[in-house]
Amino acid sequence: MTLLLSKKDEVIEFNSHRLYKSKDRNYMYSVLNNTIFEIDQLVLEILKLSGKTTQEVISSLQTDFSKKQIEEVLISMEKGLVIKSEDNDRKIQKLTNHLNINPIISLTLLIVQECNLGCTYCYAEDGEYLDKGKMNNDIAKASIDFLLENSGDRKDIYVVFFGGEPLLNFDLIQSTVKYAKEKEKEFGKTIRYSITTNGTLITNKIRNFLKKMNLQCKLVWTEAKKFIMLTAIIRVAKVHMK
């Protein structure tokens, strides 16, 4: 029996995660594991009961699931670092200490969940990005701090701006690079930058900035320019049809 099941009057809390749904399937991204899991209905229902005691969770779900099923899933979630516990806190501390042994040298920032095109083959709901959003300055700065503080003795470290289409959040790219330029001096390091973009939003202003900051540009092209134009037309058509 795990600590979780031996203390059924203690409140259950979950480590950082995010839920997604695609084509009637549910997924959970575990931040600590940096892994996406496909989850069943029982796991989903348990995740909705944060703040309840173990006994309350079991009682709430016994109408649709057996006690044995619920307990087995709770044990699995605890072992997988999804559920917070004293034992998991110790494991997480070991993982944190491990960062000092194996320094982080590269960081990818997903600065926008949106794109100006609507490519039908895109992983993000055919380019629709139903869960739209943009990273803010506070998160970007905290990410740069984390990279610098956990990069060990490495002098050259790397930041990748990714999306969606990252140029839709160009102001954040500018402010993040400016902040990083100031912070890297404190740590005696050099941050090198790259951006993955479809290239359709590049203006003279953006081009000059990329060149000035020596920011490597990785262009993602479809098979032909005609196809890019076609997907853009499809996106416009979809908007007008709604």
CATH of the domain at 26: 3.90.930.60
Sheet holding 106-110, edge to edge: 106-110, 156-162, 190-197, 216-219
What's the token pair of residue 25? 């399937």
CATH of the domain at 134: 3.20.20.70
What pLDDT is recorded for position 98?
A: 64
- With 70 as the cut, is the pLDDT of residue 221 above it? no
Cα end-to-end span (Å), the chain: 53
- Domain final residue pick, 86, 110, 130: 86
Mean pLDDT of 132-143: 92
- Domain final residue pick, 86, 108, 126: 86
- For residue 156, give Cα distances in angstroms to 145, 162, 176, 210, 211: 15, 20, 17, 19, 19
- Domain final residue pick, 54, 86, 118: 86
| 227 and 194, same domain (yes or no) | yes
| 49 and 138, same domain (yes or no) | no
| 104 and 50, same domain (yes or no) | no
The H-or-E segment that residue 29 falls in is strand 25-30
Number of domains in the chain: 2
Is residue 204 situated within a structural domain?
yes
| 142 and 226, same domain (yes or no) | yes
Burial 11-22 (b: 16+ CB within 10 A, else e): ebebbeeeeeee
| 22 and 110, same domain (yes or no) | no
Is residue 92 situated within a structural domain?
no
Lowest mean pLDDT among 10-19, 53-62, 191-200: 10-19
| 123 and 210, same domain (yes or no) | yes
0.75 surpassed by pTM: no
Is residue 91 situated within a structural domain?
no
- Single out the residue of 152, 172, 153, 151 nearest to residue 163, CA to CA: 172
Mean pLDDT of 112-138: 80
| 105 and 80, same domain (yes or no) | no
Alpha carbons within 13 angstroms on the beta-carbon side of residue 235 total: 20
What pLDDT is recorded for position 150?
A: 87
| 199 and 222, same domain (yes or no) | yes
| 124 and 227, same domain (yes or no) | yes
Residue 70 is which amino acid? I
| 176 and 145, same domain (yes or no) | yes
- With 70 as the cut, is the pLDDT of residue 223 above it? no
Phi, psi of 140 (to 5 degrees): -60, -45
Domain of 63, in residue numbers? 3-86
| 9 and 54, same domain (yes or no) | yes
Of 13-17, 121-125, 174-178, the range with the highest mean pLDDT is: 174-178
* Percentage of the chain modeled with pLDDT above 90: 41
What pLDDT is recorded for position 239?
A: 43
| 116 and 225, same domain (yes or no) | yes
132 or 183, higher pLDDT: 183
What pLDDT is recorded for position 234?
A: 46
Residue 30 CB contacts under 8 Å (≥ 6 apart), including other chains? 15, 16, 17, 36, 37, 80, 81, 82
Is residue 163 situated within a structural domain?
yes
